[in-house]
Amino acid sequence: MKKIKLYNKIAKVGTDVFDRTRYEVGEAAEAPDAIMVRSAALHDLAFNPELKAISRCGAGVNNIPIPRCTEAGIVVFNTPGANANGVKELAVAALLLASRDIVEGINWTASLAGAEDVAKAVEKGKSQFAGNEIAGKTLGVIGLGAIGGLVANAAVALGMTVVGCDPYLSVNGAWALSRHVNRAASYEDIYKQADYITLHVPATDSTRNMINKETLSLMRDGVRIINLSRADIVNADDMREAIASGKVKKYITDFPTEKTIGTDGIVTIPHLGASTAESEDNCAVMAAHELVEFLELGNIKNSVNFPNVSLPAGLDHRICVMHKNIPAVLSKLTTALSDMGINIENLASGSKGDVAYTIIEIGCEAPAAALEKFGLISEVIRVIVI
């Protein structure tokens, strides 16, 4: 029986994907074959030898030690697009929060509790919260993936002029974009022309602090910035300075920090991007299906550290090999089997950066001697038999 250990509360509709006659699923599962996690930090977790996969119910994987997982041959999955609609809807709300002093107005209205003539006080004081409409304004979208693409299309529908930039835009992502989304050649082009900028990029070495004093200086005075991606994409000190000077009119972020809360001009949302019942359900279901597909067939889809490789269900015996992405490894694997008279019925292989993954389907149970030969190949990271 395979074991799935749960970290955080995982939606039941997701855990119900597992056939309980073949899977033990729960927070108490010991020596698990796989982990399902939302936001719990796993960086200090000691991996048990049986652990083969970690599936993150969400897109971001900052809470998972990716390099260590790769070294151990543990496949890390995420669920791109499963929570995209929930984040898109919050982004639309953030556009309005950036345009109108809604939060400030609500807080001010609450201070009128006990006043004798609230209606009169409201009419007298409401002008201090006047804002702008978003229709006709230019929105720059940085990152046009599952979420950014939906935000761009929604902004077009709301009457905004939309320019987007994504150096890694996929073919499917491009097809999903409205024809009214204009292409920016670079992020700098967006900085120079946008009234609003919304960020939809992962936190990587190349994106951390991408919004800083230098990039802010390229933007229009009074620009409004939305960050529903990760806190460290924006340099908080530089943002506070830009807010104080009036360079940035409003900053809306879904990632409050000590430096952003309680600052005039900054609206901090308590990480609500994917906090909808629908998003949590969608992420849990996708994460569970990814684990079932991998544990039962060896197929990989939506991995952040190994390539997507799959074979349709066929024979009952598969050898799945994580290995370094260098020449001649495949020939070493196939030679080891042919030397033992074992025919390869089907094979699929792919690479991602420095690592590769190969599924070998054979017509018999994998002999221990063959697996021993695989283990002697220096480039092999891990071998999993299905």
Among all residues, which ones are annotated catalytic? 230, 258, 271
Rg (CA), the chain: 25
In degrees and rounded to multiples of 5, residue 266 shows phi and psi of -115, 125
Q: Are 94 and 158 in contact (CB under 8 A)?
A: no
| Token duo for residue 218 | 């390229």
